[in-house]
């Protein structure tokens, strides 16, 4: 089994910076794809960034150029710069065993961490 725990969410002003971390534990050896998702108020969950084979990364258009995803050992980080009010939402870390070609099929999920930009 795999467990994921997010941290780093906070309330910040527009233009500010946050760094979210996701700690993986349990059986992580077969995980091939890690992602950050968010659910903004009144909207459905959406993919934000994902990292897969050979540290290939994909970003949603809404965050491209502002957010960076990277992995160090069993921690995946989402560096968020130039935050906008529309970035407000609950951010989730997720993992899957298979391909990293889309936003689907993520098997394990963290509890979420709240990001509020005002």
Q: pLDDT-based confidence at 46, cuts 50/70/90?
A: very high
pLDDT of residue 15: 98
Q: Is 86 helix (H, G, I), strand (E, B) or coil?
A: helix
pLDDT of residue 28: 82
Mean residue pLDDT across the chain = 96
CB 24 within 8 A of CB 95: yes
> Read out DSSP for 12-51?
E-TT--EEEEEEEEES-TT--EEEEEEE-TTS--EEEEEE
Question: Phi then psi for 53, rounded to 5 degrees?
Answer: -55, 135
pLDDT at 1 over 90: no
Tens of pLDDT along 30-45? 888 999 999 999 999 9
Q: pLDDT-based confidence at 78, cuts 50/70/90?
A: very high
The counts of H helices and E strands in the chain are 0, 11
pLDDT of residue 91: 98
The two structure tokens encoding residue 112 = 């979420």
């Amino acid at each position: 089994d795999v467990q994921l725990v997010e941290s780093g969410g906070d309330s910040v002003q527009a233009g500010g910076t946050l760094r979210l971390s996701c700690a993986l534990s349990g059986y992580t050896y077969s995980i091939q794809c890690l992602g950050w998702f968010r659910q903004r108020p009144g909207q459905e969950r959406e993919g934000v960034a994902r990292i897969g084979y050979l540290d290939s990364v994909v970003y949603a258009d809404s965050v491209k150029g502002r957010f960076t995803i990277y992995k160090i050992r069993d921690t995946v980080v989402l560096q968020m710069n130039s935050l906008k009010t529309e970035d407000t939402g609950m951010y989730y870390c997720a993992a899957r065993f298979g391909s990293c070609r889309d936003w689907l099929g993520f098997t394990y999920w963290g509890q979420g961490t709240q990001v509020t930009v005002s």
